[in-house]
Amino acid sequence: MIRPYLLSIACSAALLGLSGCASTPVAAPKSANLLARAAVENQYLERGFNFTGSARFTEIEFQRDGELGKLMQQLEPATADKSASGKLAGGAIDIGIDAMRSFRIEARGAVDFDAARLELAPTLRFARPNLEAALTLPMLFEGKEAAVYFDGSAIDWMLPGLRDKQGQLIRLGGPEALKKLDFALLRSDLKQATRDTYAAIADDAFTLLPINEDERREGVAYKVRLKLDAAQYRQLSDRMIEGLARAAQTQLDRVAPDNKELPAYVALLKMAMGEAKSEVDAQLLIDANGRLIGTESRSWVDQKGARFAMQTSMRISNFGQPVFALAPQAGRWYPAEELAAVFASKKKDRAEEAEAPAAVPAPKAPAKPAKPKKRKSVKQTG
């Protein structure tokens, strides 16, 4: 299921691996393939930006004779549909499919490459008629101090040990080795990986499309369609994995030179990706300055007798002037160890309650014997 969405990750890598130099974007060429590649290249000229995105399943099918379909039948053999269509259906199966379709993943955030700072606020949303629920976990990655800040507002109001810390961020410090990362080199390597990834795409995979009025009001000047079949996508994903692996290995050589496990993980990842057949149909939205300002894409994957389709959307704004919602300040955050201590304390209290012996009732005082009743004497007369 992961493989068809690597194109979105490739776009994100193109955005997250930008160099920190400030420059004016070059004029965008009007050839579809050159226009798309130039849009990606122009992203490297920005200091940072804000972004929003969403993803949801639009199609979920299990074939009865597929590996996943057989597993589903084992979970519910009595109600699984045996119709000639070959598609698997049934009570709990249909409920599970409807539930997956009802979930939507959303994200918003900002990135500042000069400061090595990334803000991300993912939201998991469940929506049905007359029913809606959502959970958001905002977080801030501070690369130069190797720390992550979380906004725990979703839970701190209901934990007695944290109620007095409402509104404060939770800080989780990372390993000291992370401070050895060379972020300038990392951005450069990611930039090269993105170039190599897009170079693997054939020119005829790009098509220039007309734009509508809504897109024009949004600032779109060009719209390029990128359509990849399974073979093209396999080539693109392999190239991207290799490029990201080289960038990761360069950093590992700095922080953990004895770690030689990455090639094995890369081989396993490629093998896992090769088990699925994936297709992508994406639209790249580009402004008059040749900058990528958004994407709309649909992805399909067929794996082990199951078919999944996902629709994703992304928008990019505030080029060069990213706006952050989270701002750690002195006295407005506390270490994650305090949060762990609260849960540990509650766990200890429950354990002590479970181990405490049951109270023995106090013995009752013996009852006093009842006094014999006095018999009334009867006076006889003769």
Crossing angle, helix 183-199 and helix 32-43, to 10 degrees? Answer: 170
Compute CA distances 269 → 7, 17, 35, 143, 264, whole Å.
15, 21, 31, 26, 9
* pLDDT tens digits along 267-323: 888 887 777 889 999 999 999 999 999 999 999 998 877 889 999 999 999 999 999
Distances (CA, A) of 243 to 17, 189, 256, 286, 296: 12, 8, 19, 25, 24
Angle formed by the axes of helices 6-16 and 183-199, nearest 10°: 140
User: In the prediction, which pLDDT does 357 show?
Assistant: 65
Which amino acid belongs to residue 126?
A: F
Q: What is the pLDDT of residue 62?
A: 75
Contact 7, 314 (CB under 8 A): no
Quick one: which H or E segment has residue 285?
strand 277-286
CA atoms within 13 A on the CB side of 246: 16
Of 51-55, 106-110, 227-231, 368-372, the one with minimum mean pLDDT is 368-372
Question: Is pLDDT of 261 > 60?
Answer: yes
pLDDT in tens, 184-229: 888 888 888 888 888 889 999 999 999 999 999 999 999 999 999 9
Cα(283)–Cα(294) distance, integer angstroms: 8
**Alpha carbon of 215 to those of 49, 206, 228, 283, 294: distances in Å?**
20, 19, 23, 12, 10
Give the pLDDT band of residue 110 (cuts 50, 70, 90). very high
* Average pLDDT taken over every residue of the chain: 79
Which is nearest to 319 in space by CA: 294, 293, 296?
293
**CA 207 vs CA 68, 132, 169: distances in Å:** 36, 39, 46
Q: Choose among 156, 195, 176: nearest CA to 18.
A: 195
Q: How much is the pTM?
A: 0.75
What integer pLDDT is reported at residue 81 of this predicted model? 54
The yes-or-no verdict on residue 363 having pLDDT over 60 is yes
Q: What radius of gyration do the chain's Cα atoms show? A: 31
Cβ–Cβ under 8 Å, residues 106 and 132: no
Q: Among 68-72, 113-117, 222-226, which range has the highest average pLDDT? A: 222-226
Distance CA 348, CA 366 (A): 41
Whether residue 63 is predicted with pLDDT greater than 50 in this model: the reply is yes
What pLDDT digit, counting tens, does each position of 124-134 carry? 999 999 999 99
- Please give the DSSP secondary-structure letter assigned to residue 63: B
